[in-house]
A and B are shown apart, each in its own frame.
Chain A
């Protein structure tokens, strides 16, 4: 297990501040980082080295908490503690802020694009999730404000190929939303975590969702459609999402992020104990009750809390991570032989 995760390089991405989040563009050629220094940096590989190609310094007045690329890769959205979300358009190597989305009452914690590229979602400490519509003229209009959570909303993520949205909150729950007659509705609440849910990741099929929490566990939720063979009860036409696996006892502090690789199925976690861990589903386990094995445990992956892990979408096993120490690291993950 020891050699399954190898350090490729380590870079002071946001010196003297936190590096909060990383996002690969869809082709896996660019990595965006953001942090407490109120800047976004765009990185690309030149030879063996990762080089900062652009610095997006103007735009936000406070910490930039998360960034997300549009599915076409031409736009980057940034969520900030200044209560706004900026949309950046890529022109060759430069980025220009083309829109600022306002409306949240306080810190925006997360932003995500729908697979179609025509919808965007944001969430905030004001307990709400907003769904925005994008038109051809780069105009953004809020089409729904979802107030289902009772506390600070930490993360939003779209399903990989459907217009289905998921959110995670300080109220310990995960909620799922779908469109209904030009409005958005919360159709289910996933309960089970015993503290803040920090992040979410769908698997490649979108049939399963992983959530990570301050309760030091990762939960795997599985979708059961009406009429499923397993006899899981559904209400109306909505699927039921059921927790089919809980990974507990592996993490010693808060788990801040989870990333499910759509190429290999490997599940990586970012933890407040400075470690990065990778899990793999046991191929012979029952899909209704899957078991996962810890295949990599890199203690002291960073010198402080790990805030984010992100699998490259095109190069299997290439993992990026970032930390409160301001650094970003690149890792090569190789599944152990025994797996």
Chain B
């Protein structure tokens, strides 16, 4: 998809870009309402449900989730079930994070795989939090380049590693 931005970090022996990231508390489990337990009633997909799909994605560098690094937050998820749109803003841990495109791609792939096909999934960097915000956003929005990236076996493996939930 891109050159360096999507090259996975070499394993071991290399200094991490952000060696000591702040770690945030995880949210509790979703409170299930009586309406949601009633299988007869239709449930629209809500922000929390989208957040639950992406919160446990692994960071490519650290043995931590995107939620623990505050890369994703429920308040930065906007879903409109009636219009079939989902918008997610994510916040790289540092403004020069070279993993930003890979993280965004992982979020996008997770949502595309999990949601009904009618959904339009837009993934952006939280405004003002990354030096190459515009370039990263443009790449993530280009479905042709995303499709080509996902035909690259090596890159797909890295994305799948980020998406493999911890036991």
Contacts and interface: CB of A to CB of B under 8 A. Distances in A.
Interface in A117-155: 125, 152, 154
Interface in A53-80: 62-63, 65
B132 to A, nearest CB: 14
Interface residues of A, number: 25
Interface in B132-160: 138, 141-145, 147-148, 151
Given A196-B138, A253-B120, A272-B120, A305 B143 contact: yes
Nearest to B143: A305
A154 B142 CA distance: 11
A304 B144 CA distance: 14
A170 interface: yes
B138 to A, nearest CB: 7
B118 A152 contact: no
A196 B151 contact: no
A62 B141 contact: no
A81 B142 contact: no
B117 A152 contact: no
A203 interface: no
B117 A81 contact: no
A81 B148 contact: yes
Contacts of B141: 214, 254
B143 A107 contact: no
A251 interface: no
B148 A325 contact: no
Contact of A62 (B142, B145, B151): B151
Contacts of B147: 18, 36, 63, 81
Nearest to A253: B120
Nearest to B122: A253
A303 interface: yes
Contact of B144 (A62, A106, A109, A253): A109
A304 B118 contact: yes
Contacts of B142: 170, 196, 214
Interface string B32-73: 000000000000000000000000000000000000000000
Nearest to A151: B138
A36 B138 CA distance: 22
A291 interface: no
A303 B118 contact: yes
A125 B145 contact: yes
Nearest to A17: B147
Contacts of A44: none
Top 6 A-B pairs ranked by shortest CB distance? A107-B148, A62-B151, A81-B148, A81-B151, A304-B117, A63-B151
17 contacts: A36-B147, A62-B151, A63-B147, A63-B148, A65-B144, A81-B151, A107-B148, A125-B145, A170-B138, A195-B138, A196-B138, A214-B141, A273-B120, A304-B118, A324-B117, A324-B143, A325-B117
